[in-house]
Structures are given as structure tokens and as C-alpha cells.
Structure 1
Amino acid sequence: MRRLPAAFVAMALALAAGPAAAEIRALIVAVSKYAEPIPSLEGPPNDAAALKGLLEEQGATDITSLADGQATRSNIRAALEALGKRSKPGDWVIFFYAGHGAQAKSRDPTETDGMDEFMALGGFRVTRPDTNQYILDDDLRGWLVNFFPTTVNVLQIADACHSGTLNRAIVAPTPFKKRTALDNPMAISLPPSPPDPARLPPSKSDPPNLVYVGAAQDNQFALEGPLPRGDSPSRGLLTYALEGALKDRRPNGNLVSDLDNNGQLSLAELASTLESRTRELSSTQQWSSAAVPARNERSVIFQPLKAPPADERPIEVKPADDAAADLLGGRGPWASIPRGTPDLTWNAKEGWVTDSRGDRVAENLKTPEQLTGVIMKRRAISQLAGSANERQVKVDIGPRPKGQLYKNGESVDLAVTHRGGAAYLTAFNLASDGTVQMLYPLAGEGEGLMGAGQSRVVMARTKAVAPFGVDNVVAIVTPAEPKALRAALRRIDGKRDAMVAAGLVRDELDQAKGQAAMALGELYTGP
């Protein structure tokens, strides 16, 4: 893409301040075994083990785990009620669910969309469902409200989905599976729930102690797949992103997800990071949802985990034709593998490159130098994704829905929305082969100053042009005019210097000490 010249089902939360002796307690539910026609999953046991280890590193000792056949409605209800009785004011209770989420036609006339969202538990059957094999959203909400007083903080994490549509054209087999029981919710007819005094009807307001983090937006599927590599164990993207948010660090030792670089990871920072990380991991097929009220945005739950060792392995590339096999025999930032699950697959004769998710990330790529640009761009975006603060600044790409393909010559609208004080906007594009393309401000567009409050800058209309594949728009807002950053970006404009551009942005964020913010936008183009 090149700039044309231009003149959760979310719940509210509020967190009570707790005493020094406050504890983290948890109920972890993982369901992977299902009866046909619902596909079984591979990731929930791995997610549950990872989360249990994470919580133990946070000092948690009161952890209850339920899996598959143990994960029944009655057992989950009893476990939550018992946690409520053990909890003290100021404690954190984590309720985690990994498995299939689903929808069915509702019998409740107060459901505005006419559908019930529910968790499909172990043994759930599509025909003649047993009421002990699923939990409706209203039932779960009632348990969390009635079993936990407002002095106890509850964080619900759902690495599952309810419904949605994938807008993307996948050109190769994808390793990701959807965590939804059936695509057609009308295929499921649920019997009435058993009488339950703790059940609550739908409500527009929730108690101040309830926090919800969902794996995906309402119109998306939550995904699982091999992470971080194609031959890795299957993981849910949300849980994997949560681990990364607690491990990946800046050069000064602070977490990359600590957006204001003050040494603490707030709930607002965590929510923003999870959204950008799940979107990057899934190539815009999924991004998480969460709600953090303004008065509690700086509340802290998790402390940093031990940083992972540096990943120094080369990118694994599998040739799809003889020409690619010959070219990969030379030196470069890759390891050529003849079989197995690679990071990238390259067909040099036809010029395309696909990633492990099945997306065609580059077109008309014929040389090792171009392949090097793709690899460096991939690393640059991975570094930047953890620092994105999309609650403060957001890149909007239209007019198509997110994730859809723009063909050669089609118009693309780019806009940036910013919340906060007056700030200066700088934006550039990283094309599919890592080429840096300055977008804003160009000559004649002034200093790029955005007013205080919520403001929107439309960076004019662009067109999808070569090089085709996955483009990434990078927008950064700064409290002062970033003259040095802009000058450096202009020097590398038109060059395959993605890692240099990423380094410039990260340095600017560090120097601003939390007063700057950055966001990413993905654009998919093709001939």
C-alpha cells in the first residue's frame, strides 16, 4: 500500500482496595472432549496448565481445577460457591474457562438478540442436551454476583467464543480451530434451566467487583492453534497472549505491556495489550474484549513473570518449488526446511509467501533480498504489537470490514482516533516486504497536531498497490512534535528497513515516559 499525495459481552468493573493479606484464588475449567458433531479441542488442557503455573508464580495456593467429565454445571456452581465462602475482602478470584462457547435460540423474551450464550461443558450433546452439561450466561452471572460480595474482586477470563464470521480468505490450510460448538446456533435447542435461586435476569448494570475478559469480539470466533511455532502444542490465543504480556520485557527490565513504563502493569494496560496481541497472533481474525472503568484503570493484579530466554532461532522457511529451494540454499535470516510445519512457505516461481496461519503475506516475491524484507518486517511487527496502546490511539481502515482483502487499485480509507491531550500524529506503513512508506504528515499537511479530547485525523484516501500481501499501518502520537523521529523515517522512506523503523518507534515511546502512545492497523492487499 502506498499513500496517495493528499492536501466483551463486556461487564463493568470497579475494584475494591484490599488489605496486605489479600490472596489470589482460582477456579480453572478446561473442556476439550466433545461428542459429535461438536469437534473436540486440543488446547484447553495446555491453557489450563499454563494459567495454573502463572497463578502459582503470582503466589496463589487456593486453585481448583475441573476438566472434561468433572466440569459439570453442578460441580462448577459448587466450586464457585465454596470459593466465595473462603474469600476475604480484597481477595482476587479468577474464574477461567477454556472450551467451546455457543449460542442457542433463547426462551427468555428479555434477551434482546433472541439468543442465549452458553458454555458447552463435558459430555454436551446437541440433541436432547442435559442441563448439567451447559451453563447459560445469566446463570453464571448470577453465581458470580450472589456468591461473592463486592469486597471480593472477581476476574472472569473466557478463552472461548459465542459466534462470529471470519472475513478473511485463507489461501493455505490454517492450523487454527474455532472454539465454537456449532456455526449454526439454531441447530441447538436447550431445555429450560433447572430452578436456581442464584440465577439473575439480564441487566444493564453489574456489581463493581466483576471484571470480564473475553477472547474475541461479539462477531468473531475465538481460535486455538500451535503457538509459538507450527510444531508447538495447541494453545488458545487469549491465554497465550496473557503469558506474553507478563513476560516480554523492555531493555530497562519493565514489561513491554507496561505502556507508561512505570514498572507496574495496570488493568487498562493489560486489556489494551491483550487486544493487540491476539489480533497480531491471529492476523486480525480475533482480538480480545474487556471493560475497565476509568476509576480503576490503574488497578494492578499481576506481577511480571520471569522473562523468557531470547529466541535466537532463524525463521524456518519451506520451499514450495525448486526455484525457492535453490535460493534458500544461500545465506540469510532463515533456515530452509524440506518438511514439517514452517514459519513461512515460499514459492519463488509464482512469487507468493504464506505464513503458518495460512495467510498469503507477500506476492511477487522472487529474490532472497525480498524474503529477508518479509522476515525483518515480521519481527518488527512482533516487537511493536506488545507496546500498542489502542485504548488511547486507534487506526481505522475502511471501508471494508477488518480483515477483508483489498484488490489492486481499490480505495482504502485511513483514519486515526486519539483520546487524551493535544498530541502530534506520525504515521507510516510497513509494506508486505518490509518497505517503509511515510503516510502522515506529508509535505503541506502541517505539523500533524491533534486537538485535546477525542479527535480523529483522516489521512485521506489511498489505494491498494504493489507490493501486495499484509501491510501494517503504524501510528504514534507524542506530546511534542517528534522532529527527529520524522526526519529518520523520511530518510528510510521507500527502503526495506522495518526493524529500523520499529526501533525508532520504541525509542520514542521510551523517551516519552508514558506520554506517547502507538497503535497498529492491518491491511490485506492482493493483485
Structure 2
Amino acid sequence: MSVCSRLLALLLAAALPAPALAAETYALVVGIDQYPHDVSLDGAVKDAEDVYGSMVAAGFQAVKFVDAEARKDAIRKAWTDLVERSVAGDTIIFTYAGHGAQMPELIAGDEADGLDEFLQLPGFDRSRMAETQNEIIVDNEMNAWFAEAESKGVHVLFVSDSCFSGGMSRSVTGKTRLAPAVTVKLSPPSQEAIAGANLKENAFKQVTVLAASLESQPTPEVIIDGEPRGALSWSFARAVEGSADRNGDGVITRIELEDYVFSNVKNQSEALQVPNFTPQIARSDSEVVVRLTRGLPAADGSAQAGGDQQAAATPRPVKSARDLGWTGSIALDIAGGGDRPANADGSGTPFRWDVATGTFYTPNGDVAAENVGRDRIQSVVDKFVLLDLLKAMASQNPGAVSLSPVRDIYAAGNRLRFDAPPGRYGNMLVFNLANTGEVQFLDMQTAGTNSAEFKLTDVEIVKPYGADHLVVISTDEPVDAIGAVLADRAATPAALLQALLTRLDGREASVAIQPLYTRETL
């Protein structure tokens, strides 16, 4: 090509309109373990690192503050910078893992319960509240921040892995992300704390808040992959990696995020938590809260959702359980001597078996099984190895099941109902992994039969007590061979594990898990 031809080509290229760009996503990530003036946490920084890593891998422009870096002035400046950088249609995701707390409302009549909630930063000291109250972020202030973004047409997703109130009936050894309440009335820490009192979360049009639990529940740190973690942060990180993008179109809708997070928080917290969205109902079926296509030319003719162009849907690869971190073993501490069962030499926070009493405890401190002798310990261990496999599968494609009434734990004589709605797959398996280590077959539906919702109604809680796990697997893969294993009255967790590894590992399948913790009396 001649010099003149090259020059003409460059001039023509410069004259053409630039391609439309997909909206950008920015992220502000905060995680605090070290509280010099309060009880420190164990998993909030891991949460922040995990979420930050998933954001960066997704191509988001992210900034992170952990422990002593998490000063209010630094966080406020980072937020201001992100809002200034954003344009209409962009998204800012703000995630927080650490202590939350409550205090008397700053503005009289502002809160229905008379209490303001706040995020507690490391510099806050209850013994010097007047001097250090600038190191809290009050809910009113957050409303003012959100309003700044919304005024520019910028979407906001706030993910709070902390708690502000609540108590639990389960025995959990992990720390709770709840700092003691402030009981004296403080002066507003900023002008924003006054102005923001007139702004309510449900009045925003482009702000979504995702909290780790209902206000009546605690937010405990639970053991995930052997380490203390926040179940919401872990689930949100997996969501951003793409697991919540069920149809593979490059965006995560509010409904997709809700379905994914509800199921996986329940799985990872062993039903201790129910996440809470504000607003409670999605604004539309196509409301987008996370965009996984950023700053790239928007494809011509792509589908529309919430006014934003989306990438063409592409199938998501299904990873094997081992690629997702499943090891095929658990860590087990044996109190009182005894031979170590197979598959019990894993690492991380251990399960615990008290040989003298026969009590088997989860890493979270719950009683998982009673009267576990040497004749049953292998089956109980194998159950939890199998359960870890099922949780790994569910992290990619969770299903939906429910128990009602909803409780942390059920007592002898309580009655409940279990529902498994029909899914989008042709085949379904339903079974229970009992606290005894037994596999109990409940139902199998295959293509060509009249598939329908599976229900257990008026189920009464009876002994033995501990932790059962009701499981529903839905898939288009053949399930007859797995069903044959389940239907065998001598079925064991080890046999079912092998069947699932052979038939479904790495293949598309939806997995729903419903933990069911019971005891004789509450």
C-alpha cells in the first residue's frame, strides 16, 4: 500500500463514528478483621480479597481497603472519585465485610425502630466516642452517597456482609459480625448524616442493597473451604465470576443474582442466613445489577435489558468438582482415641467426633449427629465428603427448594413441609442425606413421565437428631443409573458419590440442598 493510500485509510477511519461502548463497572471493596478497640474478626479480609479478585478478573476497575487502610476519609474520597469518573448507565458496586452496629437515631423520628445502623471502621473506639465517631459510616450518610450516583444516572449495588441485630438458636463457634450497640445519643458525624435522613433506600430508582441476613438474624462467620468466611461475600464472588449469569448473556439480572445468592448463602451457612434485598421485589424482569461486559464494543442486534445492550448469550462451561476446589476428604478431630476413618485427613477447620459421647460436630460447632459409634463413623464422614461435592456442583448451578416454617433449628414434634418445584430440566432425583449417614431415596422423575413439583407435607421431627440434608438434582443427563444406586436399600454415601462423579461431575445439572437441623428440645 502506498503512503497516500495508507493516509487515506487513516483519515477515513478517523471520520467514522466510534463504536458504542458497553457500560463500565466500578467497584469499592472494604474488608476489616482487625478492630483495635473491639473484637476482631477472622474472615472479612479474606472476603474482601476474594471479592476484589473476582472483580478484577471480570475487568472491573476496583479499589480495595482492608484493616487499617479502611479510614472513612479514604473510603469517602474513593467513592467520590468513582462517582466523578462514572457516566449515566455505569455501575458502582460497593462491598463491605466487617462489623455493623446500631445506635440511637441521629434525627428524631427518622427511624421506625428509633435506631440508626452504621458500619464500624477500625478507628472507632467506644471509650472515646466523641473523638472517634468520624470513623463510622451511618446509614444516612450512605443514602447521601448513593444519591450522588443516582443523580448522574449511575446504578449502585451495595453488598453488606455484616449485621446489625439478631440472635441465633444454633450453636455456632464462629464470630458474629455484630459490634455492641452504642447506647448514648451521638451528634451527627457529618452534614451528610443529617441530609441523608430525608433519603430512604426504597425511594431510590437505581440503587439495590444486598444484606447478608434479615435484621432479625445474625451474620456469623462460617467455615467455607476450611476457613472462616462470610457466606454472602463468598457467594457474591462466585456470582461475579459468572456463575450467576444463568443464560450466559454477559449480565447478571436482579432475579439471577437473587436466585443464585439465596441458594448458595443457604448452602454455605447451613441455613443460618437468609439474605435480604432492598427493594424486596425486582423493579422489572430484566433489571440488570451487574454487567460482565465492560468497555467493549456493544454487539449489533444484541438483546436489550433495562435499556442496556447485552452480549450474545454463550453457554457457560461446567467445571468439575475438583476444579472448584473439592478434595474428596474432610478434616476431622477425634476426641477420645479411635482409628481414623478413610477420607478424614483433609485440612482446614475440622469436624469433631467425640468418641465417648458419640457426638459428631460440624466445623461451625453444630451437632451434626448423635450416637455415632465406630460402626457408623465412616458413613457419617462419607456423607459430608458427598455433601461437599454437592455444594461444589450447586455453586455453579443452584436449584431452589424450601422448608416451611423457616427456622434455624427444629425440635422434636415440630411439623414442616418440604417443596421442590419443577425445574427446566427433564430429569429429577430427590433424596435425603440423613444425620445417621444413611442415604434415603425419595423420588425420581425422568423425561417422558409426568414430572411435577415434589412435596413432603406434614413431616414430623423425630429422633435421631442432628443434621439432615434434603437434596434435589435436576438435569437432562440420564439418571437411571444414579436412581438405581439410590433405590438400593443398602445405598451408602460412598456409592452415591461414585455414581455422581461418573455420571454428572462436569456436566450440566442443577443442585438444590436444604439443610435440616434438629434436636430434642430447644
Decide: shared fold, TM above 0.5.
yes
- Measure how far apart 1:318 and its partner are: 2.1
The answer to whether structure 1 residue 271 and structure 2 residue 281 are counterparts is: no
1:106-125 per-position Cα deviation (integer Å, ceiling 9, x unaligned)? 24314122221111123213
Consecutive unaligned residues of structure 1, counting only runs of 5 or more, are 1-17, 248-254, 451-456
Could you tell me how far apart the structure 1 residues matched to 2:495 and 2:184 are? 49
Between 1:414-423 and 1:127-136, the stretch displaced more is 414-423
Could you tell me how far apart the structure 1 residues matched to 2:483 and 2:328 are? 33
Structure 1 partner of 2:411: 406
Structure 2 partner of 1:321: 336
Could you tell me how far apart the structure 2 residues matched to 1:344 and 1:133 are? 38
Structure 1 partner of 2:32: 31
Query: Counterparts in 2 of 1:292-307, with a 5 A limit?
Result: 292-296=282-286, 300-302=290-292
* Percent of paired sites with the same residue: 24
Maintained 8 Å contact 1:272/1:390: no
Could you tell me how far apart the structure 1 residues matched to 2:135 and 2:33 are? 13
Structure 2 partner of 1:94: 93
- Measure how far apart 1:216 and its partner are: 2.0
Aligned with residue 380 of structure 1, among 368, 382, 386: 386
1:449-473 per-position Cα deviation (integer Å, ceiling 9, x unaligned)? 35xxxxxx76232233444321012
Letter in 2 for 1:25: Y
User: CA separation of 1:315/1:420 partners in 2, compared to 1, >3 Å: closer, same or farther?
Assistant: closer
Maintained 8 Å contact 1:377/1:430: yes
- Measure how far apart 1:483 and its partner are: 9.3
Could you tell me how far apart the structure 2 residues matched to 1:419 and 1:51 are? 32
Aligned with residue 140 of structure 2, among 114, 138, 141: 138
Structure 1 partner of 2:512: 519
User: CA separation of 1:422/1:256 partners in 2, compared to 1, >3 Å: closer, same or farther?
Assistant: closer
Could you tell me how far apart the structure 2 residues matched to 1:66 and 1:526 are? 42
- Measure how far apart 1:168 and its partner are: 0.7
Name the SS of the counterpart of 1:177 in structure 2. coil
The answer to whether structure 1 residue 464 and structure 2 residue 461 are counterparts is: yes
Maintained 8 Å contact 1:426/1:448: no
Name the SS of the counterpart of 1:449 in structure 2. coil
The answer to whether structure 1 residue 214 and structure 2 residue 179 are counterparts is: no
- Measure how far apart 1:360 and its partner are: 1.7
Aligned with residue 195 of structure 1, among 191, 201, 224: 191
User: CA separation of 1:387/1:228 partners in 2, compared to 1, >3 Å: closer, same or farther?
Assistant: closer
Could you tell me how far apart the structure 1 residues matched to 2:415 and 2:389 are? 26
- Measure how far apart 1:133 and its partner are: 1.7
RMSD: 4.2
Could you tell me how far apart the structure 1 residues matched to 2:317 and 2:186 are? 42
1:71-122 per-position Cα deviation (integer Å, ceiling 9, x unaligned)? 3444433332221111123322121222211112224314122221111123
TM-score (norm 2): 0.74
Structure 2 partner of 1:124: 124
Could you tell me how far apart the structure 1 residues matched to 2:427 and 2:223 are? 39
- Measure how far apart 1:439 and its partner are: 4.2
Greater helix fraction, Structure 1 or Structure 2: 2
Structure 2 partner of 1:366: 373
Structure 2 partner of 1:53: 53
Between 1:422-431 and 1:70-79, the stretch displaced more is 422-431
Could you tell me how far apart the structure 1 residues matched to 2:211 and 2:153 are? 23
Name the SS of the counterpart of 2:191 in structure 1. coil
Could you tell me how far apart the structure 2 residues matched to 1:493 and 1:48 are? 46
Query: Counterparts in 2 of 1:442-521, with a 5 A limit?
Result: 449-450=452-453, 459-475=456-472, 484=480, 488=484, 491-492=487-488, 495-497=491-493, 500=496, 519-521=512-514
Name the SS of the counterpart of 2:345 in structure 1. strand
User: CA separation of 1:420/1:132 partners in 2, compared to 1, >3 Å: closer, same or farther?
Assistant: same
Could you tell me how far apart the structure 2 residues matched to 1:499 and 1:287 are? 33
User: CA separation of 1:426/1:59 partners in 2, compared to 1, >3 Å: closer, same or farther?
Assistant: closer
The answer to whether structure 1 residue 356 and structure 2 residue 363 are counterparts is: yes
- Measure how far apart 1:349 and its partner are: 3.7
User: CA separation of 1:389/1:164 partners in 2, compared to 1, >3 Å: closer, same or farther?
Assistant: farther
Could you tell me how far apart the structure 2 residues matched to 1:187 and 1:245 are? 38
Name the SS of the counterpart of 2:380 in structure 1. helix
Structure 1 partner of 2:435: 432
Letter in 2 for 1:147: A
1:314-335 per-position Cα deviation (integer Å, ceiling 9, x unaligned)? 322222112x2xx22xx62222
- Measure how far apart 1:413 and its partner are: 1.2
1:404-427 per-position Cα deviation (integer Å, ceiling 9, x unaligned)? 2424xx243123274999999864
Maintained 8 Å contact 2:157/2:209: yes
1:199-255 per-position Cα deviation (integer Å, ceiling 9, x unaligned)? 2525363333222222222222223356422xx4x43332223334456xxxxxxx7
- Measure how far apart 1:289 and its partner are: 2.9
Maintained 8 Å contact 1:29/1:71: yes
User: CA separation of 1:76/1:282 partners in 2, compared to 1, >3 Å: closer, same or farther?
Assistant: same
Maintained 8 Å contact 1:267/1:298: yes
Could you tell me how far apart the structure 1 residues matched to 2:122 and 2:69 are? 7
Aligned with residue 160 of structure 1, among 162, 165, 187: 162
Letter in 2 for 1:27: L
Name the SS of the counterpart of 2:200 in structure 1. coil
User: CA separation of 1:295/1:218 partners in 2, compared to 1, >3 Å: closer, same or farther?
Assistant: same
User: CA separation of 1:198/1:423 partners in 2, compared to 1, >3 Å: closer, same or farther?
Assistant: farther
Could you tell me how far apart the structure 1 residues matched to 2:425 and 2:234 are? 35
Aligned with residue 153 of structure 2, among 151, 154, 157: 151
Structure 1 partner of 2:9: none
Structure 2 partner of 1:64: 63
Could you tell me how far apart the structure 1 residues matched to 2:422 and 2:289 are? 20
- Measure how far apart 1:286 and its partner are: 2.4
Aligned with residue 269 of structure 2, among 261, 269, 282: 282
1:136-166 per-position Cα deviation (integer Å, ceiling 9, x unaligned)? 2122022112234463222212121111111
Could you tell me how far apart the structure 2 residues matched to 1:85 and 1:258 are? 29
Consecutive unaligned residues of structure 2, counting only runs of 5 or more, are 1-18, 294-315
Name the SS of the counterpart of 1:218 in structure 2. coil
Structure with the bigger RCO (C-alpha within 8 Å, sep 6+) is 1
Maintained 8 Å contact 2:260/2:398: no
Structure 1 partner of 2:8: none
User: CA separation of 1:505/1:268 partners in 2, compared to 1, >3 Å: closer, same or farther?
Assistant: farther
